[in-house]
Every structure is written in C-alpha cells, then in structure tokens.
Structure 1
C-alpha cells in the first residue's frame, strides 16, 4: 500500500498535466464557436472516449512495440523525458505547444474536431502516450496496473466534466488564472521529465561503467 499511493499520485498528476483540460478550454471554445451546448457535449464525449481508448491501447501494447522495433526501455525513458520536458517548458511559459492552431486548420477540422485536433494531439498527445508506456513498465503488480488504468479513466472523466463546463469556467478563471494554472502544471511536468530522464540514463551509465571495468 505504501508504494501504491505514491504511484497513484504520480499517475494522476502526470496525466492531468499532460492532458491539460484547463489549458484546452479556451481552444475548445474557439473551435466550437457558433455551436450549441448539445453539439459541444457530443464533441467532448467523443473526444474523451477516443483519447481514453488510444491511450489504453498504447499503454498496454507499448512493450510489444519495443520488442518489434528493438527499442530499449531505458532509451524510451530518456526520449520521453525530453518530450515531456519540452511540453512542460512550453506550459511554464504559458505557451502550450499542442494548442497552436492556425485558422485554416480549424476550418479543415471543423467537421470532426473531436478526433483531430481535440483528441489527437491535444488530449492524447505524444507526452501522454510516452507517460502511459513508461508507467506501465513501472507497474510490476496487478494492483499497480489497475491503479494506472483507473487513473487514466478518472483523468478523462474529469476532462469530460471540465470541458463540458468550459463556458462557465473560462470567465471565472480569466486569462491570469489560466496562465497561473498552466505555469504551475508545467513546473510539475518538468520535474517528472527530469525523473524520467535520470531513471533511463542511470542504468545505461552503470552498464557502460561495468563494461569499462571489464576491459581493464
């Protein structure tokens, strides 16, 4: 139980930060401008469901992809650390990279924005996918695996609720409140990224040192 609670906390904080429903709200409202509440609710429901399914699939099939392409877990941790660090840095500057959309792109995706860009890459981007694969590698017991899946489900349920209430929440938070929240989550995300990078680099350095000692 002692190890399960910290793992659950890491799952919840990292996925909430990477999904970033609070930062997605203004973009979602701008993309759905002119639509009624029922249309917006259908878009949010479909987007969160698709994001959940995609993330679960990558989380459970990540090891198969590693084996297929000959990718090491430690190498993936280092790469994931860089990806998450970049996202966290953008959020720390109040510039969430996945929400930079051009006007012409919004028009192209207007017919089905629930899949692209709302679901992919905004709610389920490379950072969230990398985080899911990495956490599944750390989930050594069945309770930890259940905790991981439950955390992902909880975050997307929470995302669904937040986006549905976006028309009320955005005026309350305001631009200043939204920037403060984004910077705070970006800082947390950068700390997680450093842990990922160190966790992947340490075993590689140990192997290099052992190989060097063996040659002496």
Structure 2
C-alpha cells in the first residue's frame, strides 16, 4: 500500500509539473476573453476532460501508437514547439485579445479551442504523454495502475479549477491588464517553445552525426 502511495505521489508531482496549469491559464484567459462565464466554464471543462482521456489513452497504448505510426517523442516535441511559438507570437502582438466571436459561432469556437490548442498540446503535451507511457510501464501492479489513473484525475481536476478561476482574474485585471499580461506571457510561451523545439531537435541531430 505504501508503495502504491509513493507511486501516486510521484505520478501527481510529475504530471502537475509537466502540465503546469498555471502556465496554461494566461493562454486560456486570452482565448476565452470574449466568451461569457458559462461558455468559459464549458471550455475549461471540455479541455480538461479531453486532456484526461488523451493521457489515459497514451498511458495504455501510447507506445504501440508511436511504434505503429513510426512517430518519435522528439518529433512530437518539435511540432509542439512550433505550435507554441506561433501562439506566443500572436499573444506578443496582442492578436488573440481582439478575437471577436459571433453569437452563432460560440459553440463551434468553444469546441475548437477546447480540443486544440488547450487540451492538446497545452495541457496534454509531449511531456505529459511521454510521462504517462513511462509511468504505466513502471506500474507493475493493479494498485499502482489505479494510483496512476487517480493521480492523473486529480491533476486534471486541479487544472479545471485553476482555469475556471481565471474568470475572476480577467475581471480584476481589466482590458489593459489582460493585454499587458498577454504580451508578457506571449514572450514566455515563445521561450518555452524554443526549449521544446531544441529538446526535440537535439537528439535527432546527435543521431544523424553519430550515424
């Protein structure tokens, strides 16, 4: 039992660090600034659920999927880095804050952004997927598997709560505060994107030179 609890704690801390819901919050705030409270809540809920089921799917079958399609984690990191960089560029130029959503397009907009980019790759990115695969391989007992799934569920619940709470932050900051915060976070997202890109590219380049 103690072994399962230790494994659950390891899973929780690693997933919370990799997913980093506090880092996702500014992007969520920016992309949902034009939505009302109910649609913002719906977006947070759907993004968290999609990310949860995606991580669980990768935990149980990720290694098979990667092998079947010939995809490497490093390639996934490169693509994720490009997506992050383009998103950070838009945030830095304050483009996302001016996104207006028509009433008849709200449902479609919520469905689109809750899956991509919020759920994938912001919440459920290459790091979280890889972590799920590695930890599932180490879960050699039923209790450890249950502990892993529970830890992922708790992290996703905390992610939802943090994203849901961002509505209050939007009201406190106001339009000017949101724009300033978005530009600052855009710069940070671009730095993260470069790190993602290089961490995926470096092993591929090393392999090419050694070959």
Partners of 1:127 and 1:67 in 2: how far apart? Answer: 17
What corresponds to 1:167 in structure 2? 167
**Cα separation, partners in 2 of 1:163 and 1:118, compared to 1, 3 Å:** same
Q: TM-score, normalised by structure 2?
A: 0.63
What corresponds to 2:88 in structure 1? 100
Offset at residue 168 of structure 1 (A): 3.0
What corresponds to 1:131 in structure 2? 131
Structure 2: tracts of 5 or more residues without a match = 193-198, 200-211
Offset at residue 105 of structure 1 (A): 7.8
Offset at residue 5 of structure 1 (A): 2.8
Offset at residue 38 of structure 1 (A): 0.5
CA-to-aligned-CA distance 1:174-200 (integer Å, 9 cap, x gap): 97xx99xx9xxx9xxxxxx9xxxxxxx
Q: TM-score, normalised by structure 1?
A: 0.61
Partners of 1:135 and 1:97 in 2: how far apart? Answer: 29
**Cα separation, partners in 2 of 1:129 and 1:38, compared to 1, 3 Å:** same
What corresponds to 1:92 in structure 2? none
Residues 29 and 166 in structure 1, CA contact (< 8 A), matched pair in contact too: yes
Offset at residue 126 of structure 1 (A): 0.9
Offset at residue 10 of structure 1 (A): 1.4
Offset at residue 97 of structure 1 (A): 6.4
1:75-90 matches, within 5 Å, as none
What corresponds to 2:8 in structure 1? 8
Partners of 2:87 and 2:132 in 1: how far apart? Answer: 21
1:38 aligns with 2:38: yes
Offset at residue 169 of structure 1 (A): 5.1
Partners of 1:132 and 1:39 in 2: how far apart? Answer: 30
Residues 30 and 96 in structure 2, CA contact (< 8 A), matched pair in contact too: no
Offset at residue 26 of structure 1 (A): 1.1
Partners of 2:56 and 2:15 in 1: how far apart? Answer: 12
Residues 98 and 122 in structure 1, CA contact (< 8 A), matched pair in contact too: no
What corresponds to 1:26 in structure 2? 26
More displaced stretch, 60-69 vs 140-149 = 60-69
Offset at residue 142 of structure 1 (A): 0.7
Partners of 1:101 and 1:16 in 2: how far apart? Answer: 26
After superposition, the CA RMSD in angstroms is 3.9
